[in-house]
Structure 1
Amino acid sequence: MTHDKSLATATAQIMRASASASHRPSIAGFFDEATNTVSYVVHDPATKEAAIIDSVLDFEAASGRTSNGSADLIIEYITSNNLKVIWLIETHAHADHISAAPYLQDKLGGKLAIGREIIRVQEVFGKLFNAGTDFERDGSQFDKLFDDGETFQIGELEGIALHVPGHTPADMAFIIGDAAFVGDTIFMPDFGTARADFPGGDAHQLFRSIRRLLSLPDETRLFLCHDYKAPGRDDYAWETTVKQQREENVHVKDGVTEEDFVAMRNSRDKTLAMPKLIMPSVQVNIRGGRLPEPEDNGVSYIKIPVNAV
């Protein structure tokens, strides 16, 4: 399926949802302030079938301890609303938090899904972490690898996956009804856009991916994976629209050229520190959110490559 056909399919889906409440999802956001991450539960009101998008496993870096408080809030919401989890979706292999998908899958069921290009990310980071031949670099840690333009269902709700590389090679946006879950491609209009300097990232690709998303209908609701409160704003926010982004985004609103964006993005990225949890997060998330296999003492270990990045 070509990009144009994928976008046309997504546009038609959004227009149907905008015209009929029965085609629109119910959405609950769960903000984790420790990682500035928003996880979502998206469900079909008619059938109670649901997807969990970009969940967070709590991780205390100094002690190396994990806990499930953030994920348990999602479980409480799912059970109290009598929802049935069909999908656990990752928009990409996150570098700033560990996914709680395996824990949630064990408690709630559902298929774990990510974009097919995760295979490229596994190859790059498998080498960086010297993961060895036991680490499969074929996406087999996930139940489903989505291709660009592939459609799916959550009950009676229509969904489509769009490949939006640039932040990483594997980023996907998931359009469900009239809502688009865009991962780390774009932030609130007053904060701008995601970085593009991770291995496999590309500012040119990011610009094109964002403009592709902003070709969706103006009324499309955009749900973001992060918010960092832009200067002058006191509250966290994670929902916007295509129209608002096209008119107001400080990095990529209408009229900004690809050349100007790339120059800005590359210059800005050089000033940014690596995310605090990048080493544990990527190492675990390329395994579908599972810790490395325990060693002979029964303990899992996170590697820290020295002077390698």
Structure 2
Amino acid sequence: MTDHQHLTRHSASTGAGSPDVWGVYEADTGSIQYVAACPQTGKAAVVDAVLNFDPACARTSTESAERVLALIEERDLTLERVLDTHPHADHLMASHWLRERTGAPNAIGEKVQDIAELWRDFYHEPDGFHSERHFDALLADGDTFEVGGLTFRVMLSPGHTLGSITYVAGDSAFVHDTLMYPDMGSSRADFPGGSAATLWDSIQAILALPENTRLFVGHDYGTEDRGEPMWEATVAEHLAQNKHVSQGTTKDAFVRTREERDATLSLPDRMLHALQVNLRGGALPAPEGDANSYFKIPANRF
């Protein structure tokens, strides 16, 4: 696919309570970072910002998150919240860096604590990954909060992970690694704590939102027929066109398709680096005596 590293798109507010949404593409991992802003007050939230990482040399950098901050500055917005939908497996999150840089509080779903419990064993970190130390808020299903004139509602939407959440604000929903663009279908559900059957239930709850709801997905990689990354489609468009969950699809058929597909996938090349960082809110492991941080990679566990 052509390099779309600097691709940014705006999805305009449709009225009161509806956010202006910008998607900022991160080509190395096919991730979309979102800025959701109240058009009346200019107050904004960032969803799923990326900390760049080169797995060949284990080096982090902040270009993608800096692009998000530059957009916020250019549009004269005020960052109020740094939000993540789950501890990502394919990229490092920029939550910690943005919180330190801007002072904006960060948040994630409260079931990140259950995910941390799983990964303490994989990393042999029995006293590690205390989420309450790294996030200002751990959000539960049904929680709400305000960003200017916008009301955000939290939906628990597990399946990809056991603690994933969706943020719904007016006629928009940030649905992370549940759905993908309609011609791609859905996201994988084979990581520890994942479940294709649970993912189906989460997707059905998302598709029960009003049909004009703009759904913003977490990733896109293009297809053989479509080189341009895409990340926005309505509930109605997914019901009509989504290759995995369109109307008429049964749960059994979805689970079979999803599990067969997942069985062919290898681990993301950043996963074992990313989880130990993301369960710390995007902070690197604590520096050792030489003032450097070190990744801990489990051998022969996957």
Q: Does 1:99 align with 2:93?
A: yes
Q: Structure 1 stretches of 5 or more lacking a match?
A: 1-17
1:51·1:154 contact (CA, 8 Å) conserved in 2?
yes
Distance 1:63 1:20, change over 3 A: closer
Distance 1:264 1:22, change over 3 A: same
1:123·1:137 contact (CA, 8 Å) conserved in 2?
no
Partner of 2:123: 129
Q: Residue 33 of structure 1: which of 27, 30, 33 is its match?
A: 27
The list of structure 1 runs, each at least 4 consecutive aligned residues, that deviate by more than 2 angstroms after superposition, is 136-140
| Residues in 2 aligned to 1:178 and 1:158: alpha-carbon distance in whole angstroms | 11
1:85·1:109 contact (CA, 8 Å) conserved in 2?
no
Distance 1:95 1:42, change over 3 A: same
Alignment of 1:239-254 (within 5 A): 239-254=232-247
1:168·1:198 contact (CA, 8 Å) conserved in 2?
yes
Partner of 1:85: 79
Alignment of 1:75-224 (within 5 A): 75-133=69-127, 135-224=128-217
Alpha-carbon distance, 1:109 to partner: 2.1
Q: Structure 2 stretches of 5 or more lacking a match?
A: 1-11
Over residues 267-302 of structure 1, what are the superposed CA-to-partner deviations in whole Å (9 max), with x where a residue is unaligned?
111100111100111110011111110111111111
Alpha-carbon distance, 1:43 to partner: 0.7
Over residues 246-278 of structure 1, what are the superposed CA-to-partner deviations in whole Å (9 max), with x where a residue is unaligned?
111111111111111111111111100111100
Q: What code does the residue aligned with 1:126 have?
A: R
Partner of 1:275: 268
| Residues in 1 aligned to 2:144 and 2:71: alpha-carbon distance in whole angstroms | 26
Partner of 2:6: none
Identity %: 38
| Residues in 2 aligned to 1:23 and 1:99: alpha-carbon distance in whole angstroms | 28
1:57·1:66 contact (CA, 8 Å) conserved in 2?
yes
Q: What code does the residue aligned with 1:125 have?
A: W
Q: What TM-score, normalized to structure 2?
A: 0.93
1:118·1:139 contact (CA, 8 Å) conserved in 2?
no
Root-mean-square deviation over aligned CA pairs: 1.5
Over residues 90-118 of structure 1, what are the superposed CA-to-partner deviations in whole Å (9 max), with x where a residue is unaligned?
01000000011111112222111111110
2:131·2:281 contact (CA, 8 Å) conserved in 1?
no
Q: What code does the residue aligned with 2:278 have?
A: N
